[in-house]
Amino acid sequence: MADIFGPAPEPPTELGRLRVLSKTAGIRVSPLILGGMSIGDAWSGAMGSMNKERAFELLDAFYEAGGNFIDTANNYQNEQSEAWIGEWMVSRKLRDQIVIATKFTTDYKKYEVGGGKSA
């Protein structure tokens, strides 16, 4: 039986040495954030592509090395980045262990979102 009052186990890598994100939030994040701009294949003509299997392998490796902080945005890979990261978290049952930093880009698809008006 593990001693609940003993020291925390050592992280698998330095990536697992979590830091407090904010004094007022109490959220602990990895020292490096994984950028999600390349997760997806919608922009394959402009910046290469990464299929879902490869994206999940990348996310698994990041998490297994101790990472828990992922950056994405609604416009990355035409929304695939956010969707695939979400699917990965659900499939691995990691939602409570991952911190997502995301952004919303106004007029991202102005022909669909408000016809060119800011959100």
- Alpha carbon 21 to chain centroid, angstroms: 15
76 as an active site residue: the answer is: yes
Task: For 64-105, give the DSSP string.
Answer: HTT--EEE--TTGGGGHHHHHHHHHHHHHT-GGG-EEE----
Instruction: Report helix angle 80-92 to 52-64, nearest 10.
Output: 60
Q: Comparing C-alpha atoms, which of 55, 62, 54, 58 is closest to residue 13? A: 62
Report the catalytic residues.
76
